[in-house]
Chain A
């Protein structure tokens, strides 16, 4: 395992920092550029970097493909579900005031938090799924022929 030593060490250090940064971007969308889509991509980068350096097989043991596909659907359902909850509470679709009827403007925080969470989950899963789909194809040249 002495190939690519620098890459391996740096990646092990960075993956945690990248994921932390992704969480930061996700939850600070109110106050600085950020939000679900950007955070999702950054989180996916953590997994993809790990997969690039340590092999697709390893990253698929951490984040199995079946889980990726289910998370894609789950994020969309979280987003739609937030809207449906406000439907059930008697308000319009995605009316965040439904969550705190006394202070309609506070409900904005909860509502946006929930929908951005859904977006972040879906985007992470989609980006990782795209990586799995392209990287998982049988290579046209085997490693020896390179």
Chain B
């Protein structure tokens, strides 16, 4: 509580960090309260567009390396909860709000065909709550607040995934498995936080960083680190903890899969980044060992094993889910290098993979909308009847492989640069090899879409514009960010520098 007797009134731009959370948070109960089916989608879309605008304003303010700190309730940190925005946060905020703004127009038609009309109001309310949770995880500077928002987003995610049960009842067991695993992960995170609180007496992330640095490495802090890494690992879907992801992505409604694939794991990776670099600094030897000897082998395993499994899938959506696990492996590889270039590569790949997977899952959703399924032999030959959709899928696929000129190439290039710079050139060979595996499974898709004869009675109309336009915006973004590389790379580099500066970056 500010003890000053004169109070300076705050302006709207001061309140931007809290408005980023408030706008989607308030829209959810408003949607339920108003309850009119016609206004529901519009309310959600307006809230999402406003959030996107706020994220852009925030990014513009912090791109030069400054930090915005907002005190909730007027209580100064470390006593109070604060929202801290720096370059890393703002980048992730932009990604999440951008994806949400593009998914909502897409979702209009997709949701109409997959979910009964009477559930639409609650569906969009849950969607806005999920958005709130993801944004809250990203923007907060208090460790327990991360848990609270993480659970808000996770609970809404379980509900959203279970909505796929109207098409395929396995969505229910997929949501249940994700619930069990996700709750265990979040509870491990809380145990880790409890141990940190026991050791340091504070929950504010900047303060934690200082106190851990003072204390050095004792058993409590190491145990806390282990619990936090494993807990977030379940949410990120690191290789041995990834079992919930393929089924959750395959059986969820198409719009939900687009949103989750592009944002949920990315936000969890952001939390891992924040804890690994800002709270437990890289000088923490235990951390270096963990990253080098545990995360790195699992990342490489993910890259190869998941790509192999993806090749043998006969369902397009499931193949993309396994490919997501492989791409997460790339990001973890970049993080475990612990250099600035490696971190830049990981953050750039976070963004580029987000837009790539958004394009591809949007494409799959359109194909499923028309053909009723996403199995390869249901969608064969649709390249001729739906040229625009298939072209966007091809662009997304090329970006997934990492063809020069697309967004995926940039992040993989910087990743290879980082491994060579560190002197671990066998890793660069592995990265290239696993990209070749991606060529195989992307080529399968292209072959099915263009080179197979269409089934009888599958002369479909092209997708509706409300679905086509968001997908093409994403596809063009893949190309744009592949050619105009400065935008992503500058932002990623600023973020990486901020993270590596450790506590100095947060203070």
Contacts and interface: CB of A to CB of B under 8 A. Distances in A.
Asked whether any CB of A lies within 8 Å of a CB of B in the complex, the reply is yes
A100 to B, nearest CB: 12
A94 B73 contact: yes
B122 to A, nearest CB: 9
A92 B72 CA distance: 6
Contacts of A91: 7, 9-10, 74
Interface string B69-82: 01111100000000
A84 B22 contact: yes
Given A92-B10, A104-B1, A97 B74 contact: yes
B29 A94 contact: no
B32 A93 contact: no
Interface residues of B, number: 21
B1 A93 contact: no
B73 A95 contact: yes
Contacts of B422: none
A73 B74 contact: no
B15 interface: yes
Contacts of B30: 73, 77
Interface string B39-82: 00000000000000000000000000000001111100000000
A97 B1 contact: yes
Contacts of B32: 69-70, 72-73
A133 to B, nearest CB: 12
Interface in A72-117: 72-74, 76-77, 80, 83-84, 87, 90-97, 101, 104-105
Given A69-B32, A74-B33, A80 B25 contact: yes
Q: What DSSP secondary structure best describes chain B's contact surface?
A: helix
A54 B7 CA distance: 56
A59 B33 CA distance: 22
A15 to B, nearest CB: 28
Interface string B6-25: 01011000010010001001
B26 interface: yes
Nearest to A84: B22
B10 A73 contact: no
A80 B9 contact: no
Interface in B272-289: none
B32 to A, nearest CB: 4
B132 to A, nearest CB: 11
B72 A93 contact: yes
A80 B28 CA distance: 12
Given A77-B26, A90-B9, A91-B7, A70 B70 contact: no
Contacts of B29: 72-74, 76-77, 80
Contacts of B35: 70
A105 B15 CA distance: 23
Nearest to A75: B29
B70 A92 contact: yes
Given A72-B32, A101-B7, 11 more contacts: A73-B28, A76-B29, A77-B30, A77-B33, A80-B26, A83-B22, A93-B70, A94-B72, A95-B73, A96-B73, A97-B1
Interface of B: 1-2, 7, 9-10, 15, 18, 22, 25-26, 28-30, 32-33, 35, 70-74
23 contacts: A72-B32, A73-B33, A74-B29, A76-B25, A76-B28, A80-B25, A80-B26, A80-B29, A83-B18, A84-B26, A87-B15, A91-B10, A91-B74, A92-B18, A92-B70, A92-B74, A93-B72, A95-B1, A96-B73, A97-B1, A101-B7, A104-B1, A105-B1
Leading 10 A-B pairs by shortest Cβ distance: A90-B9, A73-B29, A95-B74, A73-B32, A73-B33, A76-B29, A93-B18, A94-B73, A92-B74, A77-B29
